[in-house]
């Protein structure tokens, strides 16, 4: 298990190449969340995420022979870019195995940073197995994304930076994938501030660390797709699980809709682009998944901002839907002139905006002469939606929101 001294050494080792990330307060989100909310903006790093801290710490400890042979890593994006960037900067060959479904922009970015990309497998775990095989065949040093002492110590430098802030934090909220960042940060934070609360956050569909703690050891979980692709790890690390068990106070989970809403809040309020994994911590605070934070100083780690533009468009729509600002309403009525105009008039009076209208005459469960009209609307929120549904009801229009 790494020690506080390991994290301090990592800080000295990487200091010249990794700038200290800012940690500003958000007054608006503090008001919304009910606690003084600060964001540790690791998305400001050169490669857009915290991952380069651990990657550089690992690379700087390689022998001359290892440097000549090169390194290999498996990653769906952030770790890949961190390894590729710093390996290229140090004159080290880097091979990166990425799942075939990795967004093209992340593949392109990794190649642009000097990495030799190999697309293999349907998920991170399959890419990981292939990378390990290539490591043995080609004599390349394997750089694990999270379950490595040098990686963990490098990520722990974020905790040292938080301890240097003028604000004395009561709690730190940290996203969890395989557990490298929260493990390193926990070692650093608890050494000097044993009273500080450390809370981990996982996607509900990829809660591998929670499963590891409940089972007594890391286990491979059955998982569903998640927009927090940077946290999509099926099995927590052996090293990280032990550290989390010892130092982390609690782990909570957030849903896909909650993550999408948090991404949208960061865009609208903070003018900050955050990826799914990076928004997980805010989602937990925003949707009251963590008790006892009222009025406290809370640091939320924004772990990265690398997000596929196509996914971002879907996330924005999902976030709007989660907040009740984009909805679908189904209405049933007689198919005759003036009925659609009557519906549109109510929408206009409520101050909503129509994005799409769909008629269904043949396939709905209706009598002949009836029509089902589905409206996609842009609204200000739940109050406006409820008001519109009341207006429909008062005018004898059968209407329901499509969830």
Q: Give the residue numbers marked as catalytic.
A: 51, 303
Q: Which tokens go with 334?
A: 């007689």
Alpha carbon distance 286, 184 (integer Å):
25
Nearest to 331 by CA among 367, 372, 366: 372
Specify the residue for token string 């990076």: 278
For CA atoms 266, 267, 272, 273, the dihedral sign is: positive
| DSSP-derived 3-state class of residue 312 | helix
On whether the CB atoms of residues 22 and 44 are closer than 8 A, the answer is yes
Q: Which tokens go with 156?
A: 């722990």
On whether the CB atoms of residues 112 and 131 are closer than 8 A, the answer is no
Q: In this structure, are strands 370-378 and 326-334 parallel, antiparallel, or unpaired?
A: antiparallel
Q: In this structure, are strands 398-402 and 326-334 parallel, antiparallel, or unpaired?
A: antiparallel
On whether the CB atoms of residues 293 and 287 are closer than 8 A, the answer is no
Using alpha carbons, list the distances in angstroms from residue 181 to 26, 42, 150.
23, 11, 11
Instruction: Enumerate helices (H) and strands (E) in the chain, giving the number of each.
Output: 17, 14
DSSP readout, 254-300?
E-HHHHHHHHHHHHHHS-----HHHHHHHHHHHTT-SSS-TT-EEEE
On whether the CB atoms of residues 122 and 116 are closer than 8 A, the answer is no
What one-character DSSP code corresponds to residue 368?
T
Alpha carbon distance 199, 189 (integer Å):
12
């Amino acid at each position: 298990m790494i020690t506080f001294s390991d994290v301090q050494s990592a800080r000295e080792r990487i200091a010249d190449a990794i700038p200290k990330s800012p940690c500003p307060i958000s007054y608006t989100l503090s008001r919304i969340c009910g606690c003084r909310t600060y964001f540790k903006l690791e998305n400001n790093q050169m490669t857009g995420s915290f991952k380069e801290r651990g990657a550089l710490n690992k690379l700087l400890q390689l022998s001359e022979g290892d440097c000549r042979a090169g390194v290999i890593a498996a990653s769906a994006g952030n770790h890949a870019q961190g390894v590729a960037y710093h390996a290229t900067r140090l004159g080290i060959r880097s091979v990166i195995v990425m799942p075939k479904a990795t967004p093209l922009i992340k593949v392109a970015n990794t190649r642009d940073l000097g990495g030799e990309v190999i697309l293999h497998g349907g998920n991170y775990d399959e890419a990981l197995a292939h990378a390990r095989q290539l490591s043995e065949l080609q004599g390349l040093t394997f750089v694990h994304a999270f379950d490595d002492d040098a990686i963990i110590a490098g990520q722990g430098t974020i905790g040292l930076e938080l301890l240097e802030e003028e604000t004395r934090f009561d709690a730190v909220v940290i996203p969890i994938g395989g557990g490298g960042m929260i493990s390193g940060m926990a070692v650093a934070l608890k050494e000097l501030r044993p009273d500080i609360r450390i809370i981990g956050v996982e996607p509900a569909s990829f809660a591998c660390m929670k499963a590891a703690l409940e089972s007594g050891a890391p286990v491979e979980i059955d998982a569903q797709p998640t927009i927090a692709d940077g946290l999509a790890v099926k099995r927590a690390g052996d090293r990280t699980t032990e550290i989390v068990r010892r130092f982390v106070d609690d782990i909570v989970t957030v849903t896909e809709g909650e993550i999408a809403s948090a991404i949208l809040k960061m865009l609208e309020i903070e003018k900050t682009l955050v990826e799914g994994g990076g928004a997980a911590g805010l989602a937990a605070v925003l949707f009251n998944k963590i008790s006892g934070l009222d009025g406290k100083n809370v640091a939320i780690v924004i772990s990265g901002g690398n997000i596929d533009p196509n996914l971002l468009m879907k996330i924005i729509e999902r976030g709007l839907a989660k907040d009740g600002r984009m909805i679908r309403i189904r209405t049933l009525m007689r198919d005759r002139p003036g009925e659609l105009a009557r519906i549109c008039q109510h929408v206009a009076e409520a101050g909503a905006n129509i994005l799409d209208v769909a008629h269904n005459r043949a396939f709905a469960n209706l009598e002949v002469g009836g029509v089902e009209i589905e409206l996609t609307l842009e609204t200000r929120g739940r109050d406006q939606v409820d008001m519109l549904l009341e207006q429909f009801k008062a005018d004898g229009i059968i209407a329901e929101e499509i969830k």
